[in-house]
């Protein structure tokens, strides 16, 4: 599976370097126009745009007009875009991320994802990313799985109609939390062409059984969207680079060697209070790491190797 070409107006893809982006969920205290300007001014190639109450709210009036305005803004700034759908309280002011595809009534979630797909199509997004959600206590594992497969099939149909690529993200603590779970879901959906994987590099360190660079290699054929952050083993907390346990040059080398040409977007949703400074430090760190990245050789990777495995059935601590 290949990542779609960047939207018109975005810089041409240079196959020799990674394309860095930054997530707007790390700019929650900024107006969207201002956030996009800061991200572009810092030298990022694109943006991971989380649809939220103050960032292109898909349920507010005048959506067509607002999407067109954001599209022009992205073109003016030369930013590529992926659409993210992880807003916490957009659908329910009382419950984080509710409803998901696993709830008794997933109607509002499905409508949100359909709108995200349409927005992605209008903006020329390289991918629209979403996840499963946490299984409600009252819902059995089998029922939750059946609901997830049915809901994803509906979203895949919408994406096929719109010509949009989907990136499904394994998320620690959710029903689909790792690469093995994603593979099972992909198979249950009959391996749809537009259903790729969103890989969060930090999550690989958090709970996957392989060294982080090997995680990239494992999903290379289906990789359509990458989020990047630091993390520690067994703790789902998105950290600034250098604070966690990941050795990044081998990871960036693995992305390059996999032929990945999509955005590699910084995912620091709890750092909005210092967004410009954090974004500036992040791009400086990643550029330095990319400059020292060499070919990925699995046997030589030590710092990214898992420490102790998370006990079976036990979700990592979730922040």
The residues spanned by each domain of the chain are: 19-318
Could you tell me the strand order of the sheet in which 317-318 lies?
Answer: 230-232, 235-239, 317-318
Residue 143's contacts (CB-CB under 8 Å, 6 or more residues apart) are none
Q: Which of 144, 143, 316 is nearest to 235 (CA)?
A: 316
Residue 72's contacts (CB-CB under 8 Å, 6 or more residues apart) are none
pLDDT in tens, 89-137: 999 999 999 999 999 999 999 999 999 999 999 999 999 999 999 999 9
Residue 307's contacts (CB-CB under 8 Å, 6 or more residues apart) are 233, 245
HSE-up of 45 (CA within 13 Å, CB side)? 19
Give the model's confidence band at 305: pLDDT under 50 very low, under 70 low, under 90 confident, else very high: very low
Q: Do residues 130 and 174 lie in contact, with contact meaning Cβ atoms separated by under 8 Å?
A: no
Q: Do residues 206 and 230 lie in contact, with contact meaning Cβ atoms separated by under 8 Å?
A: no
What is the reported pLDDT for 308? Answer: 42
What is the reported pLDDT for 96? Answer: 97
Q: What b/e readout covers 256-273, taking b as 16+ CB neighbours within 10 angstroms?
A: bbbebbbbbbbbbbebbe
What is the reported pLDDT for 301? Answer: 43
3-class secondary-structure state, position 4:
coil
Q: Do residues 197 and 185 lie in contact, with contact meaning Cβ atoms separated by under 8 Å?
A: no
What is the reported pLDDT for 309? Answer: 41
What's the average model confidence in pLDDT over 13-29?
88
What's the average model confidence in pLDDT over 37-53?
99
What is the reported pLDDT for 294? Answer: 76
What is the reported pLDDT for 250? Answer: 97
> Is residue 209 pLDDT above 60, yes or no?
yes
What's the average model confidence in pLDDT over 279-296?
91
pLDDT in tens, 127-138: 999 999 999 999
> What fold characterizes domain 19-318?
TIM Barrel (3.20.20)
DSSP annotation of 49 reads E
Q: Residue 32 class from Cβ within 10 Å (0-12 exposed, 13-18 middle, 19+ buried)?
A: buried
The phi-psi region of residue 67 (left if phi > 0; otherwise alpha if psi is between -120 and 50; otherwise beta) is alpha
Q: Do residues 210 and 180 lie in contact, with contact meaning Cβ atoms separated by under 8 Å?
A: no
Return the axis-axis angle of helices 63-77 and 32-41, rounded to nearest 10°.
20
For the full predicted model, state whether its pTM sits above 0.85.
yes
Q: Which H or E element spans position 72? A: helix 63-77
């Amino acid at each position: 599976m290949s990542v779609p070409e960047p939207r018109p107006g975005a810089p041409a893809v240079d196959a020799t370097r990674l394309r860095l982006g930054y997530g707007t969920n790390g700019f929650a205290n900024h107006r969207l126009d201002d956030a996009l300007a800061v991200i572009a001014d810092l030298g990022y190639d694109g943006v991971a745009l989380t649809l939220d109450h103050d960032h292109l709210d898909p349920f507010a009036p005048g959506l067509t007009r607002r999407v067109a305005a954001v599209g022009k803004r992205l073109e003016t700034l030369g930013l590529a875009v992926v659409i993210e759908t992880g807003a916490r309280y957009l659908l329910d002011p009382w419950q984080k991320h509710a409803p998901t595809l696993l709830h008794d009534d997933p109607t509002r979630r499905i409508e949100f994802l359909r709108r995200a797909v349409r927005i992605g199509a209008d903006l020329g997004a390289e991918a629209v990313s979403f996840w499963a959600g946490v299984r409600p206590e009252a819902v059995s594992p089998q029922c939750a799985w059946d609901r997830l497969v049915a809901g994803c099939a509906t979203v895949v149909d919408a994406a096929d109609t719109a010509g949009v690529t989907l990136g499904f993200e394994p998320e620690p603590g959710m029903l689909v939390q790792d690469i093995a779970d994603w593979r099972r879901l992909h198979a249950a959906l009959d391996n749809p062409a537009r259903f790729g994987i969103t890989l969060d590099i930090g999550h690989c360190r958090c709970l996957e059984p392989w060294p982080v660079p090997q995680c990239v290699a494992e999903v290379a054929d289906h990789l359509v969207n990458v989020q990047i952050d630091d993390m520690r083993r067994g703790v789902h907390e998105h950290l600034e680079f250098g604070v966690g346990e990941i050795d990044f040059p081998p990871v960036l080398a693995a992305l390059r060697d996999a032929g990945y040409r999509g955005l590699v977007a910084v995912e620091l949703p709890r750092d909005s209070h210092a967004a410009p400074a954090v974004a500036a430090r992040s791009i400086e760190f990643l550029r330095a790491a990319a400059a020292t990245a060499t070919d990925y050789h699995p046997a030589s990777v030590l710092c990214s190797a898992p420490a102790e495995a998370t006990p079976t059935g036990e979700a990592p601590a979730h922040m």
